[in-house]
């Protein structure tokens, strides 16, 4: 994560304030989660931490993220939940930091050979996630669940058409909704999915994938949900690298129609 604007949130719960005494705070201004995020650093041996806070529906989202991180931790490297606190309608999620830089940052600075190595490693990491038995995952997140969530976001006025991808510039949220409904797959490959598997949410350290972050949408869903978002994130690096990623994710065969569906659906989140 990139951190900017040194500051500290007001009204930090006492149980966290005492624990975080002596830490240096920097507000993280990247990301689109809707939560406020801080990066906390201190002299060794104290670990680097991240603190998220949100109110209203966002507080429920943080509770869900905490549950998902705890569930995923035995399977893949993710932030450890150091504390979760709720006061009134505000939630606070304190997490350890996963070492490394985002894959998005690495790819922008890497040469062609390193980019291929990174993409192959990310594909292998994603296959590890998708190999986790989906029957063990208590979080449903399939197309119908996600469509219902998308409809609720539209009705609540939370979808900003100005953020749509270039190919849907000028579309309304209702048009995207209708297109997503029409494209909804009748068959899926149910796996445990990250739900927001973008190059920004996968970290790289020491020549390997060191973990993933922002797992608040994790759940049982079609594997193409993760494939679609990472594939889109590779667009700035050329179609050859996108094709390399799709090839690394097969078998089974990647379904481009399902990729298109998940890209449509993601516009509403």
Active site residues: 196
Cα 174 from Cα 159, distance rounded (Å): 10
Q: Which tokens is 250 given?
A: 């097969």
**How long a stretch of residues is the chain?**
269
Sequence-separated (6 or more) residues with CB below 8 Å from residue 114: 106
Q: Which tokens is 53 given?
A: 């806070």
CB burial of residue 211 (10 Å; 0-12, 13-18, 19+): buried
Cα 146 from Cα 148, distance rounded (Å): 5
Cα 189 from Cα 171, distance rounded (Å): 29
Our measurement of the distance from residue 233's CA atom to the centroid of its chain's CA atoms, rounded to an integer in Å, reads: 12
Asked if 115 contacts 237 with a C-beta cutoff of 8 angstroms, the reply is yes
The single residue listed with the structure tokens 């062609």 is: 112
């Amino acid at each position: 994560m990139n951190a900017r604007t040194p500051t500290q949130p007001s009204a930090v719960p006492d149980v966290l304030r005492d624990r975080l005494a002596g830490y240096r705070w920097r507000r993280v201004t990247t990301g689109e989660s809707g939560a406020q995020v801080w990066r906390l650093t201190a002299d060794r041996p104290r670990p680097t931490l991240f603190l998220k806070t949100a109110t209203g529906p966002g507080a429920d989202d943080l509770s869900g993220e905490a549950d998902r991180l705890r569930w995923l931790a035995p399977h893949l490297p993710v932030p450890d939940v150091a504390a979760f606190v709720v006061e009134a309608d505000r939630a606070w999620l304190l997490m350890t930091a996963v070492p490394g830089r985002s894959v998005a940052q690495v790819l922008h600075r890497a040469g062609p050979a390193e980019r291929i190595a990174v993409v192959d490693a990310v594909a292998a990491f994603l296959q590890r996630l998708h190999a986790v038995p989906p029957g063990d995952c208590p979080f449903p997140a399939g197309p119908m669940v996600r469509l219902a969530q998308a409809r609720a976001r539209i009705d609540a006025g939370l979808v900003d058409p100005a953020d749509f991808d270039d190919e849907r510039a000028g579309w309304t949220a209702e048009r995207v909704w209708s297109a997503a409904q029409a494209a909804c797959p009748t068959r899926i490959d149910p796996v445990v999915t990250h739900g927001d598997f973008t190059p920004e949410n996968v970290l790289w350290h020491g020549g390997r994938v060191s973990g993933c972050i922002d797992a608040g949408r994790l759940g049982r869903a079609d594997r193409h949900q993760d494939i679609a978002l990472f594939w889109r994130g590779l667009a700035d690096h050329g179609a050859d690298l996108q094709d390399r990623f799709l090839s690394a994710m097969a078998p089974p065969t990647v379904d481009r129609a399902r990729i298109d569906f998940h890209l449509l659906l993601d516009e509403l989140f």
